[in-house]
Amino acid sequence: MLEIRDLHVSIAGKEILKGVSLTVRDGEVHALMGQNGAGKSTLSNVIVGHPSYEVTQGSITFNGKDLLGMNPEERAHEGIFLSFQQPVEIPGVSMVNFMRAAMNAKRKYQGLEPMAAAEFLKLMREKRKIVELDNKLANRSVNEGFSGGEKKRNEIFQMAMLEPTLSILDETDSGLDVDALRIVAEGFNKLRTPQTSALVITHYQRLLDYLKPDVVHVLIGGQIVKTAGPELALQIEERGFDWIREEAGL
C-alpha cells in the first residue's frame, strides 16, 4: 500500500530525514517510535504533503501511484488521513460545513454526486457514536473550545466519516486520560478492516496495547535504525532508546 524509498527531507535547508525506507501492506498497523526531534512528525507531514517540507531525494508511492506529485487534497482523496498531533481550531467554520465540504470533495474525486443533506446528517450521527462525540460539539466550529481529548476524538470521528485506507496517527495518545485514550483507541479499532492500514506515531506502549501493531520501527536521527515485531515496543517501554542507539553504533 505505502512504499517509502530512501526518503530525504529538509526543512528550511536542514536535513531532517536521511534516507527512510518503509513498506506498509494492506491491513497492517505499523508503529513508529523515537525520541523528540527524531523526525517522526516530519515523516507524517511529508506523507500528507505539507508544503513546508522539501523532499530532496527518494520516493513515496501509494497503491502504486507517485504520492510526491500530488497536492495534499489529492492525497486525502486517494485515502490518506492524518490525525494531527495538534488539531487546528477553525473559528466560524462549523463541523457540519467542514465535514460536508470534505466529504463532497472526495465524492467528486470519485465521480459521485454530492451526498443529500439528510443522508449526510444521518451519517454524521452514526459516526459520532463511534467516539462518543457529543452532538453539541458536532454543531460547533471545528475544534473551537474543544478540550484536548475532544479534539483527538474529533480526529477519529473525521476518520470515520472519510473512511481512509491509510491512517496516520501522530501522537493521538498525547494528552489523553485513560478513558479518553480507550475511547479513541476502541473507536479506531472499530474502523479497521483487512484493507485499511495505519502508521501510528507514539512514545508510549499504552496506545499500542489497544492497537496491536504488526511492525514497530524506531527512528533515530532521521533514519530507521531498527524494525521488529510488537515486542520491540515493550522493550522500549522498559529500557528506553539508548540500547538501540548503542546497537546501531550511534
The least CB distance from residue 42 to another protein, in Å, is 14
**Taking contact as CB under 8 A, which single stretch among the options 57-65, 84-92, 177-185, 229-237 is the one that binds another protein?**
84-92
In angstroms, give the least distance from the CB of 223 to another protein.
Answer: 26
Calpha distance 236→223 (Å, rounded): 17
Q: Which residues of 114-144 are buried (b: 16+ CB within 10 A; e: fewer)?
A: ebeeeebeeebeebbebbebeeebbebbbbe
Q: How far is the CB of 44 from another protein (least distance, A)?
A: 10
If one asks whether residue 56 binds another protein (CB under 8 A), the answer comes out as: no
Dihedral sign (CA 30, 35, 37, 38): negative
| Dihedral sign (CA 175, 180, 186, 187) | negative
- Which residues, including other chains, have CB under 8 Å from residue 98's CB and lie 6 or more apart? 90, 142
Nearer to another protein, 103 or 244 (CB): 103
Judged by CB under 8 A, does residue 98 bind another protein?
A: yes
- Out of 33, 67, 82, 185, the residue judged to bind another protein by CB under 8 A: 82
Confirm or reject binding of residue 76 to another protein (CB under 8 A): yes
Nearest residue (CB) to another protein, 78 versus 186: 78
* Minimum separation from the CB atom of position 168 to another protein (A): 10
Site for another protein in 139-178 (CB under 8 A): 141, 158, 162
- Among the listed ranges 24-32, 61-69, 71-79, 199-207, the one in contact with another protein (CB under 8 A) is 71-79
Whether the CB-CB separation of 156 and 83 falls below 8 Å is answered with: yes
Is residue 101 part of the contact set for another protein (CB under 8 A)?
Answer: yes
Q: How far is CA 112 from CA 102, 104, 126, 178, 238, in A?
A: 13, 8, 21, 40, 50
Residue from 141, 96, 151 nearest 122 by CA:
96
**Binding residue for another protein, selected from 68, 70, 105, 121, defined by CB under 8 A:** 105
Residue with the three cell numbers 508503529? 31
Residues that bind another protein (CB under 8 A): 48-51, 71-73, 75-77, 81-82, 84, 87-93, 97-98, 101-102, 105-106, 109, 141, 158, 162
